[in-house]
Amino acid sequence: MSSTHTGAGPSFGAGLPGAPIDLGRKARPAETAIKVVLFVSAMLSVAITIGILVALVEPVVHFFAEVPFGEFFSFDEGTRFAVFPLITATMVTTVIALLVAVPLGLGAAMYLSEYASRRARKVLKPTVELLAGVPSVVYGFFAVMFVTPTLLQDILGLGVGFTNALAAGLVLGVMIIPTIASLAEDAFSAVPQALRQGSYAMGANRMQTTLRVVLPAALSGVAAAIVLGLSRAVGETMIVALAAGSQKNFSLNPLEGMQTMTGFMATTAGGENPVGSTSYNTLFAVGLTLFVITFVINMISIALVRRYRQAY
């Protein structure tokens, strides 16, 4: 172990040492080197973010050198580079996904944190999280092979085409249930027990306590969970690439097929566009738009999480 401190320490009669010694700060050259290596590894995550931005910006600059801004930020689905039809399609699938995932995710979270016993929670939580482990390409295949033909066309009798935003949104919603459930459960569990006991003492039952005390108290955490779910839904690719369609469609009708931002990227990357061409660079322009949108959403979610963690 340490060789510098094996000699006589301060004798007991010598009085208290002036300042407490920080044992973590003993200098050793080799350990400083290790610390630098560890620090560099941690900084790499920042480098990755900067890398993402740089990687996206350079082709985007080339892109806008050839395509005018007006054509990219165009609402016209006939325009080759228009991004707004992609954004509205992303909005449609995301809203459907949230309509599925918010009530079901919050319901599952309420049960896990307010009703389930400790042992039941230990089994039920991983079960809900299993949903997150299913690959999105499998969900996409399921949407095309089962949800659209069997559920929507045969059982519900909706006049939907082979690809439609409804099936994609529904399956997307199932996929983000665990995201919302997991974060919302954290927020519910963080609500102090005293609030619940106060509520029971006033004669409220468990439903009233859950809905009128725990839910409002955890509201910023619940909001963070929903916002993170939203971000997941916006960025998910394979489900919408398979089930939503590959045709730009400036429509809000979920029964129609439409192409989302990520769906566009998947189609373009899979196609035969030479690197550096304008159509290849569109990939980066749409990718940057997607990154900026999800970045803003994530920051909102992080800020909300911080707020509910500080509240108690």
- Looking only at residues 252 through 271 of this chain, which bind other proteins when binding is defined by CB under 8 A? 262, 265-266, 269-270
Do 282 and 81 touch, CB atoms closer than 8 A? yes
Query: Residue 307 to residues 190, 267, 300, 303: CA-CA distances in angstroms?
Result: 12, 40, 11, 6
Determine if 2 is a binding residue for other proteins (CB under 8 A).
yes
The residue within the footprint of other proteins, chosen from 166, 283, 304, 308 (CB under 8 A), is 283
Determine if 198 is a binding residue for other proteins (CB under 8 A).
no
3-state per-residue secondary structure call for 14-54: HCCCCCCCCHHHCCCHHHHHHHHHHHHHHHHHHHHHHHHHH
Determine if 105 is a binding residue for other proteins (CB under 8 A).
yes
The residue within the footprint of other proteins, chosen from 85, 169, 178, 257 (CB under 8 A), is 178
Contacts of 288 (CB under 8 A, 6+ apart): 56, 57, 60
d(Cα 209, Cα 186) in Å, to the nearest integer? 17
Q: Which amino acid is located at 11 in the chain?
A: S
The residue within the footprint of other proteins, chosen from 154, 200, 212, 252 (CB under 8 A), is 200
- Tell me the per-residue interface mask from 5 to 44 with other proteins, x by CB under 8 A, - otherwise: x-----------------xx-x-x--x--xx-xxx-xxxx
Q: Min. distance of Cβ 36 from other proteins in angstroms?
A: 10
Residues 116-135 binding other proteins (CB under 8 A) are 124, 126-128, 130-131, 133-135
Determine if 302 is a binding residue for other proteins (CB under 8 A).
yes
Do 160 and 166 touch, CB atoms closer than 8 A? yes
Q: Min. distance of Cβ 166 from other proteins in angstroms?
A: 16
Q: Which stretch binds other proteins (CB under 8 A): 11-19, 61-69, 74-82, 298-306?
A: 298-306
164 φ, ψ (degrees, to nearest 5)? -155, 155
Determine if 65 is a binding residue for other proteins (CB under 8 A).
no
Residues 67-96 binding other proteins (CB under 8 A) are none
For residue 195, give the nearest of 215, 207, 218, 213 by alpha carbon.
Answer: 213
Contacts of 129 (CB under 8 A, 6+ apart): 178, 182
Q: Min. distance of Cβ 117 from other proteins in angstroms?
A: 14
Q: Which amino acid is located at 122 in the chain?
A: K
Q: Min. distance of Cβ 249 from other proteins in angstroms?
A: 18
Nearer to other proteins by Cβ, of 217 and 240: the residue is: 240
Task: Give the tokens for residue 310.
Answer: 């500080």
Nearer to other proteins by Cβ, of 78 and 155: the residue is: 155
